[in-house]
Amino acid sequence: MLVVFLGPPGAGKGTQAARLAAKYGIPQVSTGDMLRETVAAGNGLGNKMKVIMNSGGLVDDDTMRRVVQERLEKPDTVGGAILDGFPRTTVQAAALDELLGRTAHGGVDLVLYLDVPEDVLVERLSRRRACPECGANYHMTFNPPAQGSRCDRCCTELAQRDDDREEIVRDRLEVYREKTQPLVDRYQAQGRLVRIDGDAGIDDVFERSDAALAEVVSA
Ligand code: AP5
């Protein structure tokens, strides 16, 4: 079962991918998280990526293809995976089809497109806080930590992502419209896309996403 979450920054891809991955017992493959791990390593490659990510731009397609290929070759993805943040360009989508065509997965089974209005996205990202230690994500209003501003899992002080500053969020949304939005039409034309109204509570969006996935699983 190969599922792709598609949607603009702040749509809830990471939040929903983590929940579906836990329910179906398959890994969440988040390219944003993988890149942030590389940045945290503090080497030359990480520093290069940090500059790109903090400016709201995209890491180049060839690097991303290699990162995802390496991840999908790991044995824990044999039963499937939930991709969050990849593909993000038409070149990446073609690379994913080619890559999956060479594996037992065959292809993308379902694309869940989280549709959320832009003003809601900006609000969500301005109030998002992430754990620098374990990567857990919170929203200070809609999904707050249990104790003040510390991570529920590891008790580390939460922080705002550098790319969640409002001026960078605007740039990320622009990049999304130009580079990623065309994938909605591409997957829709292929009959693989289900549009989910993502402008609702986290539990409601989960139910909608889960219902769409359950339909594919039972088909
Ligand atoms: P990445 O980390 O993938 O960022 P993104 O796609 O911009 O997505 P976000 O993580 O910002 O949002 P999300 O949709 O996951 O929402 P979330 O669930 O966190 O990528 C970061 C950077 O890495 C990119 O800009 C790029 O530079 C690079 N990169 C990554 N992949 C790449 C690729 N394939 N190619 C090239 N470059 C790549 O939710 C957001 C907030 O809202 C949270 O606080 C959450 O708690 C809250 N929330 C979620 N759902 C709801 C809800 N229903 N109601 C209320 N609040 C909610």
Q: What is the DSSP string of 135-173?
A: --EEETTTB--SBTTB-TTT-PBPB--GGGSHHHHHHHH
Q: Which residues are within 8 A (CB) of 203 and not within 5 positions of it... i.e. 6 or more apart?
A: none
One-letter amino acid of 213: L
Q: Residue 128: inside a domain, yes or no? A: no
Atom of ligand 1 nearest to the CA of 60: 36
**Structure tokens that stand for 216 in this block:** 């594919």
The β-bridge relationship of strands 81-84 and 28-30 is: parallel
Alpha-carbon span 34 to 37, nearest angstrom = 5
Residue 31 belongs to domain spanning = 2-115+180-218
CATH, residue 71: 3.40.50.300
Which of 19, 63, 112, 139 to mutate to test ligand 1, by most ligand atoms within 8 A of the CB atom?
139
For residue 195, pLDDT beyond 90: yes
Q: Residue 188: inside a domain, yes or no? A: yes
Q: Residue 189: inside a domain, yes or no? A: yes
Q: Residue 132: inside a domain, yes or no? A: no
Q: Which residues are within 8 A (CB) of 175 and not within 5 positions of it... i.e. 6 or more apart?
A: 56, 57, 58
Residues in the chain: 219
> What is the domain count for the chain?
1
Which of 59, 168, 209 to mutate to test ligand 1, by most ligand atoms within 8 A of the CB atom?
59
pTM of the predicted structure, to 2 decimals: 0.95
* pLDDT at residue 43, rounded to an integer: 87
* pLDDT at residue 145, rounded to an integer: 96
Q: Whose CA is nearest to atom 5 of ligand 1?
A: 9
* pLDDT at residue 105, rounded to an integer: 81
> What are the pLDDT digits (tens) for 21-80?
999 999 999 999 999 999 988 888 899 999 999 999 999 999 999 999 999 999 999 999
For residue 204, pLDDT beyond 90: yes
Torsion region of 80: left, alpha or beta (phi above 0 gives left; psi -120 to 50 gives alpha)? left
Q: Which residues are catalytic?
A: 13, 88, 128, 161, 172
Residue 13: pLDDT band (50, 70, 90) is very high
Q: Residue 150: inside a domain, yes or no? A: no
